[in-house]
Amino acid sequence: METWNVEAEDGGRLDVHSFRTPAGLHPTTAGPPGVVLIHGTLVTDALYRPFARKLSVLLGRPVHCYNRRGRAGSAPQPADYSVQTEVSDLAAVMGRTGSTDLVAHSYGGFVALQAARTLPVGRLVTYDAAVSLSGNLSHRWRPELEDAVTAGQLNHAWAHLVQGLATAGPLSYLPLGALRMLSILSARTNLGAEMRQLLPTAVTEMRAVLDADAELENFTALTTPVLMLSGGWSPAYFAETGRQLAAAVPSINFQVVPGQLHEGPIRPGKGLAVRMARFINGSDGQARTLGRRR
């Protein structure tokens, strides 16, 4: 793994980690075009590095994952943060790495689909993309989450986030009191403590999704080949969004991945990476059959 930095348009630093870079060569050295992996909310790119490594081996190409604003070695979220901040940052990473293909998870999928409307994206795979269509995610937003973060009541905030997004599987349906207790317990782990620190970025990112609420017509001009995946055990609203977009946009293909939870890309196993790699490389028959859906 190579660790390096990309300077964003506004001068902010983005922390990048690249895989399958030849020893002794900078990640931007000429070679096969790379793939950029965009992570979800409430996490850093560290959880995705094993998946990035698998993809790199399967593709035979470099895979670059980076920390989005507000985490690890990257710059803070600016005061005027919006999805355009993320699209601009992604453009900087793509430009410096010579990458045109994207793999994105959850909030990262939202960023990638927005970016594909204006950036020269070759192929795109999303997993549980958090896109708001015609206000369908507005009820997922809980003002209590932002109020709790502002008041420093992070266990209360975490409980509202989990209940609102329902991305934690069966745990999402526990009472708030039980979720607060789980937050207290998880804070004793490195991952749990990190998630608590990132709660303010989750508030900002959820607002960005709602502010960018779109209609199907906003995507009908999209020509980038897109494979939208959703886990069979993920919250149903991710699959519903994928089905709607695939039905309206010929270049979008939607599939459900049986047996996968929302956190599929950061769990052990190779099947999801194989499915994505086949599409990115165009070796899957469905990769060339735009508009085919499941």
Q: Write the pLDDT tens digit of every residue in 262-271.
A: 999 999 999 9
Q: Per-residue confidence at 56, pLDDT binned at 50, 70, 90? A: very high
**Closest by CA position to 126, among listed 143, 138, 142, 114:** 114
CB 126 within 8 A of CB 145: no
pLDDT score, position 136: 94
- pLDDT at residue 79 above 80? yes
Return mean pLDDT, the chain.
92
Q: Per-residue confidence at 142, pLDDT binned at 50, 70, 90? A: confident
Q: Per-residue confidence at 232, pLDDT binned at 50, 70, 90? A: very high
pLDDT score, position 169: 86
pLDDT score, position 33: 87
Predicted TM-score of the model (pTM): 0.93
pLDDT score, position 294: 41
pLDDT score, position 25: 64
Q: How far is CA 259 from each of CA 21, 61, 218, 262, 268, rounded to the nearest angstrom?
A: 33, 28, 31, 10, 13
**Closest by CA position to 70, among listed 233, 204, 266:** 204
- Mean pLDDT across the stretch 125-138? 96
pLDDT score, position 21: 60
Q: What six digits make up the tokens of 84?
A: 């355009």
pLDDT score, position 145: 92
pLDDT > 90: what percent of the chain?
87
Collect contacts of 198-202 with beta carbons under 8 A, ≥24 apart: 198/41, 198/42, 198/43, 198/44, 198/70, 198/71, 199/42, 199/149, 199/154, 199/157, 199/158, 199/161, 200/70, 200/149, 201/41, 201/42, 201/69, 201/70, 201/71, 201/77, 202/41, 202/42, 202/145, 202/161
- Residue holding tokens 């630093």? 13
Q: Which amino acid is at 9?
A: E
pLDDT > 70: what percent of the chain?
93
**Using CA of residue 45, residue 46, residue 49, residue 50, what is the dihedral sign?**
negative
Q: Per-residue confidence at 285, pLDDT binned at 50, 70, 90? A: low
